[in-house]
């Protein structure tokens, strides 16, 4: 990358990406909360993520969702108490960990509501072409790879 041409943080791509993510998360959370699922939008994201990753453990879930461990643990316990997740003893790197699994009740909640959530996402991006979305995805993947490579090279 050549010299950064912007003089202020609020005029950089980092700030723009941060604002997109914060606003998108807030809007999705708001719309999921309006579905009145009996769980919050954040809890739905936890449930959906566990449904995607088979046999995930809480620390890995925290890393994926970029949430602190205590917040993730609290949401997991709520979902366990509601019968949407179960915790089973397992091992990771020869250490005892809890493996998270989604219950049939949890799968039904995700599957029944995912079409509505996909519709919300489609509405949010209605004025953006498929090509622009694909370009954004390619660029964000490239940024992520460059950042990871940079971090690896410093260690």
CATH number (domain holding residue 66) = 1.10.10.10
- Tell me what pLDDT residue 88 has: 93
Q: Is residue 80 very low, low, confident or very high in pLDDT (cuts 50, 70, 90)?
A: very high
- Tell me what pLDDT residue 93 has: 79
Structural domain of 105:
9-124
Residue 145 lies in a domain: no
Residue 50 lies in a domain: yes
Q: Which of 113, 137, 114 is nearest to 125 (CA)?
A: 137
| CA separation for the pair 60, 66 (Å, rounded) | 10
Quick one: the chain helix, strand, coil %, rounded to 5?
65, 10, 20
Which neighbouring-strand residues pair with 87? 100
Q: Does the CA dihedral 54-55-58-64 come out positive or negative?
A: negative
Residue 150 lies in a domain: no
| pLDDT tens digit sequence for 63-75 | 999 999 999 999 9
Residue 154 lies in a domain: no
Section 15-29 average pLDDT: 89
* Number of independent structural domains in the chain: 1
Residue 78 lies in a domain: yes
Residue 153 lies in a domain: no
Residue 52 lies in a domain: yes
- Tell me what pLDDT residue 138 has: 94
- How many helices (H) and strands (E) would you count in the chain? 6, 2
What SS3 state is found at 4? coil
| CA separation for the pair 18, 6 (Å, rounded) | 16
Q: Which of 81, 82, 60 is nearest to 72 (CA)?
A: 60
pLDDT at 1 over 80: no
- Tell me what pLDDT residue 3 has: 66
Residue 152 lies in a domain: no
Section 144-154 average pLDDT: 85
- Tell me what pLDDT residue 2 has: 58
């Amino acid at each position: 990358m050549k010299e950064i041409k912007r003089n202020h943080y609020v005029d950089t791509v980092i700030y723009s990406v941060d604002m997109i993510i914060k606003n998108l998360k807030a809007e999705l959370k708001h719309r999921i909360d309006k579905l009145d699922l009996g769980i919050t939008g954040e809890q739905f994201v936890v449930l959906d993520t566990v449904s995607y990753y088979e046999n995930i453990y809480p620390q890995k879930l925290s890393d994926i969702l970029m949430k602190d461990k205590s917040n993730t643990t609290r949401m997991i316990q709520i979902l366990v108490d509601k019968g949407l997740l179960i915790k089973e003893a397992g091992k990771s790197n020869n250490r005892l960990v809890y493996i998270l699994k989604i219950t049939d009740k949890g799968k039904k909640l995700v599957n029944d509501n995912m079409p509505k959530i996909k519709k919300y996402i489609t509405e949010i991006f209605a004025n953006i072409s498929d090509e622009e979305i694909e370009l954004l995805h390619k660029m964000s993947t490239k940024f992520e790879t460059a950042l990871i490579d940079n971090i690896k090279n410093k260690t």
